[in-house]
């Protein structure tokens, strides 16, 4: 950690708007800095909510660039994508238009943990994303590097907090806005590393962001350092695929977006992936050349779940590691070797790669490299991603310590609706922000979505290594499934935030009522187990002969689906087989019906704790009305939890402290 040593009194180091002679135009409701996966979602969501939005980014031609792997989704990440889509976000729809190999992971487990994943055509994704961004009403896109923030003097009613009111670009020009969202990814003091060479860059070919990093530090934000890396890219025609294990895509393809019934390309036209493995020769090259590999020697934390080949060899010696050879696009000559992220000197990378089966003649077209960058301790932001230190300044994406396109996109979706509700400038005009500020914030809780879990983990626990989403982080996995993200979030997104289109809302309403009706009909059809046996001979029902069995319970059996059930009992079930998605979702609902009953009781308990709001202006360091240890006071002061539930998840905040806080909240309410 780099300890922050600046105080609010030192703000003049950062520009104050009263000092600036620059004209107060142009003026936007929202400025989003960064056109990566967080920035594109944040900018379009803010515009969808009705804000005049400016997306400021280094280069328009890198908007939507996938810095590393040419794939989206996977276990846990696929859930985030469905939730982003449920809030009308972009990435899922764009993936349905740009994939080259669609596969659902974890199929052998239940649908609650299936992981939708696709290999994506990099070029196509960027093209489709740029088309969408450049055609979004209310959204202006401008190239430029932001160097500094413009702050206004603290507002008296906000206990001395200053407020962001615009940005300063590298050429000295200024742009003003009601709120500013920082989504600068790996660019804050970014340093690229290959072998012993290090040079400043946000990613290969892009300048780092140094002025902005200094500004944030001067403001008193606690800054940490993380690292990540990417593998070399290999010429496709130099690989001997014929001796490798081939993986074909799913048939049919499952789309990411609720609005799509299918993806843009037929399964038979999609591209395969291939599997190979490392071997002891790879270990030998890594171990012999550690002295030439400064990224590996660095003590900064890298991604635990997407480690470099060097970290894998050091942590798990003498093991064979999987290497997936993944296409970079339909007409790309490059292959991405997933599992071989490395920072060896460029000349040794090809030597190592050619030791691997199928890659004996491989040609490296672009070397792998590492990147080290600043991130901001996410305990410095609220669940709506607004910073504690500066009003109307929001952080989203890798800047908050996460890794992955999906994690970045998900955060941005969560914050944009909040902007509208907070009155942080999304509704046009100065008076509009005052008008809407009376609305409550839009926060997704842990009981409602993976987005809620992601943000709650970050804001209450912080992170000391790149954070990625997993199903295991989620307490209520059986309720928070990829299939029902629309029911969980689309309706709220429409009513509470205004970020969801009418068409999507109506579709989600139709699905919700059809599911409810279908479940109720399935519950009402009851026969004896022997009658069911006659109707559907392939099912063997294990229940007492005397008790009638509901159609909903028969649907739980693996060998039964809505089609077989409707064949047995055409009326009234036939109509539920007309929509494929509805039929599949009824089957999933039936599978989880009994376990969900118990989970819903637990969810209610958690929601009660979440409903107990802690006062926003409480000064934990000095307050005398509640008995708390000094350590607990410091932890609460830093994280500023908004509810009793969030406070209880902060490590070191004891059950006794929670009881005292609870008493305090009850006396103040």
C-alpha angle 604/605/610, rounded to 5°? 90
Nearer to ligand FAD, 228 or 270 (CB): 228
Nearer to ligand FAD, 229 or 482 (CB): 229
Least distance to ligand FAD, CB of residue 28, Å: 15
Nearer to ligand FAD, 455 or 628 (CB): 455
Nearer to ligand FAD, 85 or 374 (CB): 374
Least distance to ligand FAD, CB of residue 130, Å: 12
Answer for the pair 456, 446: CB distance below 8 angstroms, yes or no.
yes
* Six-digit token string for 75: 């276990």
Euclidean distance between CA atoms 449 and 480, whole angstroms? 6
What is the contact surface with ligand FAD in residues (CB under 6 A)? 33-39, 56-58, 62, 67-69, 145-146, 183-187, 202-203, 206, 209, 212, 228-230, 306, 371, 397-398, 403-405, 408
Cβ neighbours of residue 610 under 8 Å, at least 6 residues apart? Answer: 445, 446, 447, 643, 644, 645, 646
Sign of the torsion formed by the C-alpha atoms of 135, 81, 466 and 304: negative
Rg (CA), the chain: 26
Least distance to ligand FAD, CB of residue 540, Å: 44
Euclidean distance between CA atoms 78 and 204, whole angstroms? 27
Least distance to ligand FAD, CB of residue 93, Å: 17
Least distance to ligand FAD, CB of residue 511, Å: 30
Nearer to ligand FAD, 143 or 563 (CB): 143
Least distance to ligand FAD, CB of residue 75, Å: 12
Nearer to ligand FAD, 72 or 114 (CB): 72
Euclidean distance between CA atoms 234 and 236, whole angstroms? 6
Nearer to ligand FAD, 111 or 329 (CB): 329
Least distance to ligand FAD, CB of residue 466, Å: 8
Nearer to ligand FAD, 55 or 573 (CB): 55
Cβ neighbours of 262 (radius 10 Å): 13
Least distance to ligand FAD, CB of residue 532, Å: 47
Cβ neighbours of residue 288 under 8 Å, at least 6 residues apart? Answer: none
Least distance to ligand FAD, CB of residue 78, Å: 13
* Six-digit token string for 328: 């970079």
- Strand ordering across the sheet containing 197-200: 197-200, 191-194, 369-376, 223-230
In terms of DSSP H, where are the helices of 49-184? Answer: 77-86, 91-98, 122-134
Answer for the pair 450, 82: CB distance below 8 angstroms, yes or no.
no
Least distance to ligand FAD, CB of residue 415, Å: 12
Nearer to ligand FAD, 228 or 445 (CB): 228
Identify how many contiguous H helices and E strands the chain contains and give both numbers. 23, 23
Backbone angles phi, psi at 352, to 5 degrees: -70, -45
Nearer to ligand FAD, 166 or 185 (CB): 185
Least distance to ligand FAD, CB of residue 365, Å: 16
Q: Residue 604: exposed, middle, or buried by beta-carbon count in 10 A (0-12, 13-18, 19+)?
A: exposed
Nearer to ligand FAD, 270 or 412 (CB): 412
In terms of DSSP H, where are the helices of 235-301? Answer: 280-288, 294-297
Nearest to residue 576, comparing CAs of 588, 558, 563? 563
Cβ neighbours of residue 66 under 8 Å, at least 6 residues apart? Answer: 120, 122, 125, 126, 405
Nearer to ligand FAD, 111 or 224 (CB): 224
**78: helix, coil or strand?**
helix
* Six-digit token string for 438: 């009376």
Sign of the torsion formed by the C-alpha atoms of 6, 10, 16 and 19: negative
Nearer to ligand FAD, 303 or 518 (CB): 303
Least distance to ligand FAD, CB of residue 97, Å: 19
Least distance to ligand FAD, CB of residue 376, Å: 12
Q: Residue 524: exposed, middle, or buried by beta-carbon count in 10 A (0-12, 13-18, 19+)?
A: exposed
Name residue 527's beta-bridge partners. 549
Euclidean distance between CA atoms 138 and 135, whole angstroms? 9
Euclidean distance between CA atoms 571 and 580, whole angstroms? 18
């Amino acid at each position: 950690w780099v300890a922050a040593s600046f105080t609010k009194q030192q703000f003049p180091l950062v520009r104050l708007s009263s000092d600036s002679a620059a004209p107060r135009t142009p003026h936007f409701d929202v400025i989003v800095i960064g056109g990566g996966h967080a920035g594109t979602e944040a900018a379009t969501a803010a515009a969808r909510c009705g804000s005049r939005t400016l997306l400021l980014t280094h280069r328009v031609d890198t908007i939507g660039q996938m810095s590393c792997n040419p794939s989206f989704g996977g276990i846990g990440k696929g859930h985030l994508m469905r939730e982003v889509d449920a809030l009308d976000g972009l990435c899922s729809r764009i993936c349905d238009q740009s994939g080259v190999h669609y596969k659902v992971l974890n199929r052998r487990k239940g649908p609650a943990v299936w992981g939708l994943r696709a290999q994506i055509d990099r070029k196509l994704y960027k093209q489709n994303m740029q088309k969408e961004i450049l055609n979004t009403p209310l959204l202006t896109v401008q190239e430029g590097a932001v160097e500094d923030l413009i702050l206004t003097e603290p507002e008296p009613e906000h206990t001395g907090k200053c407020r962001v009111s615009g940005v300063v670009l590298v050429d000295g020009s200024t742009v003003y806005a009601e709120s500013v969202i920082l989504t600068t990814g790996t660019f804050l003091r970014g340093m690229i590393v290959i072998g012993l060479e290090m040079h400043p860059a946000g990613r290969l070919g892009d300048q780092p962001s140094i002025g902005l990093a200094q500004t944030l530090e001067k403001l008193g934000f606690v800054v940490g350092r993380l690292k990540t890396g990417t593998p070399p890219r290999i010429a496709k025609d130099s690989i001997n695929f014929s001796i490798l294990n081939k993986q074909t895509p799913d048939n049919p393809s499952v789309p990411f977006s609720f609005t799509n019934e299918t993806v843009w390309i037929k399964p038979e036209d999609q591209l395969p992936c291939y599997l190979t493995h490392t071997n002891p020769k790879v270990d030998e090259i890594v171990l012999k050349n550690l002295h030439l590999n400064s990224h590996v020697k660095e003590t900064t934390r890298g991604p635990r779940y997407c480690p470099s080949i060097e970290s894998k060899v050091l942590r798990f010696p003498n093991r064979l590691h999987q290497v997936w050879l993944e296409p970079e696009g339909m007409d790309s000559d490059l292959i991405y070797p997933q599992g071989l992220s490395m920072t060896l000197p460029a000349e040794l990378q090809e030597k190592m790669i050619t030791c691997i089966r199928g890659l004996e003649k491989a040609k490296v077209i672009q070397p792998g490299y590492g990147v080290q960058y600043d991130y901001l301790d996410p305990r410095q932001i609220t669940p709506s991603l607004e910073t504690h230190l500066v009003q109307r300044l929001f952080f989203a994406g890798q800047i908050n310590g996460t890794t992955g396109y999906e994690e970045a996109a998900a955060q941005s979706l969560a914050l944009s609706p909040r902007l509208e509700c907070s009155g942080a400038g999304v509704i046009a005009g100065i008076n509009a922000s005052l008008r809407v500020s009376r609305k409550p914030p839009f926060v997704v809780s842990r009981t409602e979505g993976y987005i809620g879990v992601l943000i709650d983990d970050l804001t209450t626990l912080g992170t000391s290594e790149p954070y990625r989403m997993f199903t295991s982080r989620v307490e209520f996995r059986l309720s928070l499934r990829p299939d029902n993200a629309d029911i969980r979030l689309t309706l709220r997104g429409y009513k509470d935030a205004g970020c969801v289109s009418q068409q999507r809302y109506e579709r989600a309403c139709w699905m919700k009522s059809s599911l409810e009706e279908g479940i109720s009909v399935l519950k009402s059809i009851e026969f004896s187990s022997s009658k069911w046996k006659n109707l559907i001979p392939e099912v063997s029902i294990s229940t007492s002969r005397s008790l009638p069995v509901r159609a909903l319970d028969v649907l739980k059996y693996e060998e039964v689906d809505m089609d077989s059930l409707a064949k047995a009992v055409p009326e009234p079930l036939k109509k539920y087989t007309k929509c494929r998605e509805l039929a599949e979702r009824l089957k999933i609902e039936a599978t989880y019906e009994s376990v969900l009953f118990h989970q819903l009781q637990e969810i209610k308990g958690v929601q009660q704790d979440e409903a107990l709001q802690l006062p926003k202006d409480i000064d934990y360091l000095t307050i005398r009305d509640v008995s708390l240890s000094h350590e607990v006071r410091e932890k609460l002061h830093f994280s500023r939890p908004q509810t009793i539930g969030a406070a209880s998840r902060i490590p070191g905040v004891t059950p006794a402290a929670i009881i005292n806080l609870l008493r305090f909240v009850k006396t103040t309410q």
